[in-house]
Amino acid sequence: MNGKVPVTVLTGFLGAGKTTLLNRILTEQHGRKYAVVVNEFGETGIDNDLVVDADEEVFEMNNGCICCTVRGDLIRILGGLMKRADSLDAILVETTGVADPAPVAQTFFVDDDVAEKTRLDAVITLVDAAHCEDQLEHSHEAPEQVAFADIVLLNKTDRVDAATLARIEARLRAMNPYCRIIPTDRCDVPLDQVMGQSAFDLERVLEIEPDFLDSDHDHSHDDAVTSVTVQADRPLDPDRFQRWFSALLQEHGQDILRSKGILDLNGESQRYVVQGVHMLMESDFMGPWPAGEARRSRLVFIGRGLEQLDLEKGFAACQAA
């Protein structure tokens, strides 16, 4: 796509199976040229010619906005890889188990040099079925990794019973309603379901289903990651929406991990699509509404403490008079 090299990000706690998946991609997709970026303290045993050690250096921009953190080492490494004489088919970035995925994703929004040559293909989060309930409860990073996932590989499902698996899936779904959850035993997923996803293309936002399952509010402690979907049947007033949405991201961008939406703006014939990572947002008109489909605006938020943001009320007030 546009000649940009796709970058796949693998997150997940230590032992969830990142290295197994990585090695499967590298050995089964032979004939393709990959660069693998690993953390120097990460797991070893990556079977590839081109392995680059990264430091996971998270840099704040000097405007002091903590939502605009980027991975400084990734900017440098991707820049170096783009100077190679041979072209790469893809770049795989493995993060440490305790890493917050936001700076990785934001790097592709913030740095022009990175955005010019590469594109974020998908964030894949590996989840260990046997240990994830504990991890989601007791760590700050595990829920973030699920929140940022385009694909959750629910691994080691052979170690839990069917009821546990169903409970875990429901919980993951409540945290992140638009990720694809793929249950596996030993990362034995067809690779075309994890590579070449273009998950950050605005076009993919259009695949959001009109009706989501209701969010599960059982995990109600303050720090829990949840999702909220808001809908509107009447067209939105463009100015009112922009004012509300940018103020929301400005003030609460730290709590809103990701947002995606398809909107019906008053006076516009095309669908308006938005997606954001914390307070960074991109948007565009993405073609007419499909014939026979109701022009209903819908916006999904994933984050912490969303109940306190009056999202339903705020969104409803954006509707044109």
Partner 1 sequence: MSGGVERVDGLDGGFPSSQLEHDGELIRTGAPVTGVVGLGEVIVTAHGDGGLRFFGADQPPVIAPVHDGVILSMARAGADRVVTGGEDGAFRETATDGTTTLIARLGRRWVDCVAAHPRRGHKACSVGGRVSVWIGAAPEPVELEHPSTVAGLAFDPTGKRLAVAHYGGVTLWTRTGTGWRPDRLEWAGSHVSVAWSPDGAYVVSAMQENALHGWRLQDSLHMTMSGYPAKPRASAWVGSRPYLATSGADQIVAWPFDGEEGPMGRAPLAVNYAGPALVSAVNGLPGTAVVFAGLDDGAVLMSDLEAKPQALVLRGTTGEAVTGVAATPSLSHLLVGDSAGTVLWAPLKA
Among the listed ranges 75-83, 206-214, 240-248, 290-298, the one in contact with partner 1 (CB under 8 A) is 75-83
Kindly provide the b/e burial profile for residues 162-193, where b requires at least 16 CB atoms within 10 angstroms of the residue's own CB.
eeebeebbebbbbbbbbbbbbbbeebebeeee
CB 122 within 8 A of CB 197: yes
CB 159 within 8 A of CB 129: yes
Among positions 28, 53, 185, 282, the unique one binding partner 1 when judged by CB under 8 A:
53
- Asked if residue 268 binds partner 1 (CB under 8 A), the reply is no
Q: From its phi and psi, is residue 242 left (phi > 0), alpha (psi between -120 and 50) or beta?
A: alpha
- Asked if residue 70 binds partner 1 (CB under 8 A), the reply is yes
**Paired residues of 18 in beta bridges:** none
Shorter beta-carbon distance to partner 1: residue 77 or 152: 77
> For the chain, what's the residue count?
321
What number of other Cβ atoms are within 10 A of residue 249's Cβ?
Answer: 18
Q: Phi first, then psi: what are they for 71, rounded to 5°?
A: -90, 100
Site string for partner 1, 222-241 (x = CB under 8 A): --------------------
CA distance 93 to 203: 23
Starting from the edge strand earliest in sequence, which strands make up the sheet with 297-304, in order? 225-232, 297-304, 256-263, 270-277, 280-288
- The two structure tokens encoding residue 148: 């940022």
- Asked if residue 2 binds partner 1 (CB under 8 A), the reply is no
- Asked if residue 289 binds partner 1 (CB under 8 A), the reply is no
Shortest Cβ distance from residue 69 to partner 1 (Å)? 11
- Asked if residue 56 binds partner 1 (CB under 8 A), the reply is no
Shortest Cβ distance from residue 83 to partner 1 (Å)? 4
CB 51 within 8 A of CB 27: no
- The closest of 244, 230, 311, 226 to 281, measured between CA atoms, is 244
Residues 76-115 touching partner 1, rule: CB under 8 A, are 76-77, 80-85, 111-113
Among positions 3, 63, 162, 192, the unique one binding partner 1 when judged by CB under 8 A:
63
Shorter beta-carbon distance to partner 1: residue 117 or 219: 117
Shorter beta-carbon distance to partner 1: residue 112 or 293: 112
Shorter beta-carbon distance to partner 1: residue 60 or 268: 60
Number of residues that bind partner 1 (CB under 8 A): 25
Among the listed ranges 25-33, 55-63, 212-220, 309-317, the one in contact with partner 1 (CB under 8 A) is 55-63
Shorter beta-carbon distance to partner 1: residue 113 or 207: 113
CA distance 57 to 73: 6
Shorter beta-carbon distance to partner 1: residue 52 or 181: 52
Among positions 75, 98, 130, 206, the unique one binding partner 1 when judged by CB under 8 A:
75
Among positions 72, 97, 101, 261, the unique one binding partner 1 when judged by CB under 8 A:
72
| Contact positions vs partner 1 (CB under 8 A) | 52-53, 55, 57, 59-64, 70, 72-73, 75-77, 80-85, 111-113
